[in-house]
């Protein structure tokens, strides 16, 4: 069959002919039954109005041909279309349909006739006021649009895109759906089918355990399962099901349920299949049936509603909406055809099921315990609300890459009223200090009830985002990168600018746009990356970062970016690979600024400082760090490392040549032992003369308190010195750092930065060295009154002693233990020198197994003091 339209352009107001041609290519006679619809449309192919309908029959002999040239469309009325009022327009359409009813015309597929003038335009002989013409624009229910789409602007869409999983509460499939035209009868429509489903059992306990969803709290009355894995349902009917009975199960999500886009799923048990979900009859006994449902591997995640429909001869009769038959569908790391599939069970238990984490803040492995709490009551609903608040279309929520990217943007409130408000100052009076959070659950629950939560820094973003990912079923972990570069200029190089002041160099904080954070935390999500070329094999761990640093496609977000691509220097694949590459592997270029000309001179290049070490928590019940630096980059100086740098530089920067031959080498040695707050310590500046000549060195040291982002808070020490070195001689300059100097300048994060610059007077060689020292606070003392047993009272004691020669003011302490002790908080107005505070809490464990108790003390001088310990609860 083909539809022949006029070869010449059709003029307005002119009649024209078109034809439908049928060719019977078979050896048998064929009888064709067809239906023709003619409509006026907008250029977006959205129907404006129908003007003709007809049905037809054609009989074709074997190898015959049938063509009908009597199809005539009277487009003369179009010229008057825009000038008529609604009543006149309807009258004209009826007249046209009347005229066409006397003709035979054929069309069994849609096609378009291109007019040489816009259909909407006014007739050349009519004068239509502008106000009247405006009535011709499409009219949509904008309040309805706002509910789904989050905006009144529809663009070229005929109807709004549904972007909310929560708006289904007032929506359900019709109880009875009549086949054909609805018939008005006194008692309403009814089905002639005698079969009726009277009860649906979602078999929550059996299914949730099989799907590794048994830990989700507060959802005992609702099913939670993972896609690409069968779950079972029991259907109770009013009578035994006969082979002639026809019933189906319908699942839907959102208010715009549609089989084509996956928001409505129909499961039949008559051998037919619609879509990628499958169903099977497992058991039939009397009037009860046990069926198995397997969601597709790319199914939309979210909350689904269930109806059981019985099909009669005149219509479909459905069960009504029942919250007991709702269920949540999640990603599935256990299913090999799901894009988040993780083959190792030990890794799945750690990266999907483990609620306890550890976030590292020092290369030695020290840091903070973090409670993810992805199974806490209310967290699953909070995660889906975050997706709703982002206005992410439901049809995109089966794509883990898109969910990660949206989640990355929504964890910060920088541009979309997301979950967390960032604050890198020392003023947290309008919220909670980032150092005081114990975990993600309090943050997410507060967001659901009150909106964006104050305040966060990188580890808070990473810990909360980790909860979001694991809760939805995406394997995830928190990463800490030490000496993490923040490339503001986008050239995958970290540029530091120094002022030249006489014979001294000082770091120019204003002109140095790039920065190197002491550490930075982000997340990795485990994805197969079906959106990237298969031959590149860039699946596996992907960087996703929700700390607002740089925009990506207009929003503060980062990733997902393949870790393998970063290691190979393949920076052309989405998303945000150049930025991530710079964080872990950029070279540090140090420049000297000429204050008179404004020009810069390259002093040195450091290829090893950035990405010094990359850590994540080891698998299992341990806080030991796992060094994963080698997953991001090859060993420094190796041939593979040089190849990686060439790959990166080829596209993203011009390689700068630098002569690194030096006469004198300078390093800064810091204490091997951890420095405690209030403690004096020593460090040394070490010079090695590598030349055959005597060198005279003039040096300058600056000590500052800094935020962990390496931004200076205050200077507390300056020192100048001169050294004379004989050929091949080594000399150490001892530097004493007194607590009385740095203590008044400390903020809530106790970091000290020392920058040493030096010049060799004989050959004008400039040298720089930077070192960070983390000053550690005191400890908390924890104790329990005895062994922990389920449903038996036990006492937990937390004690703190002020070791400083000054009082501590406005000290806050919090304690929490999952399934052990709920979150509790206390405020102490003052703790004098040498005084102790003791907090004793009674608690009753609710579940056996290993758990953690989290405690934190926070004040403006100390920052946070962590105290966490593991507890084994006996049944």
Supply the residues annotated as catalytic. 458, 520, 545
Among residues 764, 684, 189, which one has the least CA distance to residue 502?
A: 764
Residue 768 CA to residue 662 CA, distance in Å, equals 12
Residue 327 CA to residue 222 CA, distance in Å, equals 6
Strands 695-706, 751-760: parallel, antiparallel or unpaired by DSSP? antiparallel
CA 225 remoteness from chain centre? 21
C-alpha pair distances (Å), 265 with each of 178, 300, 589, 605: 19, 11, 57, 59
* Spatial contact of 689 and 726, defined as CB atoms under 8 Å apart: yes
DSSP string, 758-807: EEETTTTEEEEEEEEEEEE----EEEESS-EETT--EEEEEEEE--SSS-
Q: Burial, 719: exposed, middle or buried (Cβ in 10 Å; 0-12, 13-18, 19+)? A: middle
Helix (H) or strand (E) run with residue 347 in it: helix 345-348
Total count of residues recorded for the chain: 875
Where b means 16+ CB within 10 Å and e means fewer, 664-674 reads bebebebeeee
Residue 193 CA to residue 752 CA, distance in Å, equals 79
* Spatial contact of 594 and 601, defined as CB atoms under 8 Å apart: yes
Angle, alpha carbons 220-222-224 (nearest 5°): 100
Among residues 502, 434, 472, which one has the least CA distance to residue 707?
A: 434
DSSP string, 371-410: E--TTSTTHHHHHHHHHHHTT--GGGTT-HHHHHHHHHHH
Strands 278-285, 808-817: parallel, antiparallel or unpaired by DSSP? unpaired
DSSP string, 625-658: EEE-HHHH-PPTTSHHHHHHHHHHHHHH-PPPP-
Residue 272 CA to residue 705 CA, distance in Å, equals 70
462 CB contacts (<8 Å, ≥6 apart)?
359, 478, 479, 521, 522, 523, 545, 546, 547
How many Cβ atoms from other residues are within 10 Å of residue 565's Cβ? 24
Among residues 559, 558, 587, 582, which one has the least CA distance to residue 569?
A: 582
């Amino acid at each position: 069959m083909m539809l022949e339209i006029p070869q010449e352009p059709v003029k307005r107001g002119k009649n024209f002919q078109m034809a439908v041609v049928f060719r019977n290519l078979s050896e048998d006679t064929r009888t064709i039954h067809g239906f023709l619809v003619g409509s006026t449309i907008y250029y977006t192919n959205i129907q404006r109005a129908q003007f003709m309908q007809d049905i037809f029959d054609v009989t074709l002999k074997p190898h015959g041909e049938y063509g009908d040239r009597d199809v005539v469309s009277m487009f003369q009325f179009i010229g008057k279309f825009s000038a008529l009022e609604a009543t006149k327009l309807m009258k004209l359409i009826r007249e046209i349909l009347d005229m066409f009813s006397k003709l035979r015309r054929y069309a069994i597929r849609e096609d378009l006739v291109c007019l040489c003038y816009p259909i909407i335009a006014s007739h050349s002989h009519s004068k239509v006021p502008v106000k009247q013409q405006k009535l011709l624009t499409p009219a949509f229910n904008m309040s309805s649009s706002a509910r789904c789409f989050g905006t009144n602007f529809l663009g070229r869409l005929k109807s709004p895109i549904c972007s909310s999983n929560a708006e289904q509460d007032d929506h359900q499939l019709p109880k009875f759906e009549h086949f054909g035209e609805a018939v008005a009868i006194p008692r309403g429509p009814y089905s002639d089918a005698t079969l009726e489903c009277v009860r649906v059992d979602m078999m929550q306990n059996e299914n949730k355990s099989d799907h590794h969803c048994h830990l989700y709290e507060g959802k005992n009355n609702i099913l939670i399962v993972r896609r690409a894995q069968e779950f079972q349902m029991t259907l109770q009917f009013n009578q035994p099901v006969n082979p002639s009975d026809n019933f189906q199960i319908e699942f839907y999500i959102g208010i715009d349920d549609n089989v084509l886009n996956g928001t409505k799923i129909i499961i039949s048990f008559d051998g037919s299949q619609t879509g990628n979900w499958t169903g099977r009859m497992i058991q039939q006994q009397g009037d009860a049936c046990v069926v198995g449902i397997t969601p597709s591997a790319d199914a939309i995640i979210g909350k689904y509603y269930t109806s059981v429909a019985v099909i009669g001869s005149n219509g479909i009769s459905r069960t009504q909406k029942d919250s007991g038959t709702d269920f949540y569908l999640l990603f599935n790391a256990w299913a090999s055809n799901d894009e988040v599939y993780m083959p190792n069970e030990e890794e799945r238990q750690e990266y999907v099921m483990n609620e306890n984490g550890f976030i590292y803040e020092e290369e030695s492995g020290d840091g903070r315990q973090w409670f993810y709490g992805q199974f806490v009551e209310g967290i699953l609903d909070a995660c889906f609300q975050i997706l709703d608040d982002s206005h992410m279309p439901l049809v995109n929520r089966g794509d883990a890459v898109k969910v990660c990217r949206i989640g990355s943007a929504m964890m910060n409130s920088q541009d979309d009223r997301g979950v967390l408000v960032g604050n890198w100052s020392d003023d947290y009076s309008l919220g909670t200090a980032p150092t005081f959070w114990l975990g993600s659950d309090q943050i997410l629950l507060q967001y659901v009830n009150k909106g964006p939560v104050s305040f966060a820094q990188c580890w808070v973003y990473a810990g909360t985002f980790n909860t979001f990912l694991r809760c939805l079923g995406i394997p995830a972990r928190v990463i800490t990168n030490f000496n993490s570069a923040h490339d503001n200029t986008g050239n995958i190089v970290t540029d530091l600018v120094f002022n030249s002041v006489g014979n001294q160099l000082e770091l120019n904080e204003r002109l140095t746009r790039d920065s190197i954070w002491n550490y930075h935390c982000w997340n990795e999500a485990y994805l197969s990356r079906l959106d990237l070329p298969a031959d590149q094999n860039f699946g596996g761990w992907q960087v996703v970062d929700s700390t607002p640093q740089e925009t990506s496609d207009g929003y503060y977000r980062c990733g997902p970016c393949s870790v393998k691509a970063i290691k190979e220097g393949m920076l052309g694949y989405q998303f945000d690979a150049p930025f991530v590459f710079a964080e872990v592997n950029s070279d540090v270029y140090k420049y000297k600024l000429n204050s008179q000309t404004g020009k810069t001179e390259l002093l040195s290049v450091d290829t090893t400082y950035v990405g010094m070490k990359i850590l994540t928590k080891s698998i299992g019940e341990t806080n030991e760090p796992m060094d994963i630096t080698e997953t991001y980059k090859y060993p420094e100086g190796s041939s593979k490392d040089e190849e990686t740098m060439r790959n990166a530089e080829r596209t993203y920067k011009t390689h700068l040549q630098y002569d690194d031959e030096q006469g004198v080498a300078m390093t800064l040695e810091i204490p091997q032992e951890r420095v405690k707050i209030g403690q004096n310590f020593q460090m040394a500046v070490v010079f090695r003369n590598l030349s055959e000549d005597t060198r005279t060195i003039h040096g300058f040291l600056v000590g500052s308190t800094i935020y962990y982002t390496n931004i200076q808070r205050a200077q507390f020490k300056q020192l100048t010195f001169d050294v004379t070195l004989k050929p091949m001689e080594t000399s150490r300059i001892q530097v004493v750092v007194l607590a009385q100097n740095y203590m008044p300048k400390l903020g809530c994060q106790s970091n000290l930065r020392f920058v040493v610059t030096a010049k060799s007077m004989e050959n004008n060689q400039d040298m720089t060295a930077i070192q960070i020292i983390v000053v550690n606070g005191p400890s908390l003392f924890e104790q329990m009154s005895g062994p922990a047993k389920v449903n038996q009272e036990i006492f937990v004691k937390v004690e703190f002693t002020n070791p400083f020669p000054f009082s501590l003011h406005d000290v806050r302490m919090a304690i929490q233990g999952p399934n052990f002790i709920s979150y509790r908080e206390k405020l102490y107005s003052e703790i004098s020198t040498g005084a102790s505070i003791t907090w004793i809490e009674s608690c009753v464990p609710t579940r056996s197994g290993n758990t953690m108790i989290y405690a934190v003390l926070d004040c403006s001088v100390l920052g946070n003091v962590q105290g966490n310990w593991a507890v084994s609860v006996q049944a």
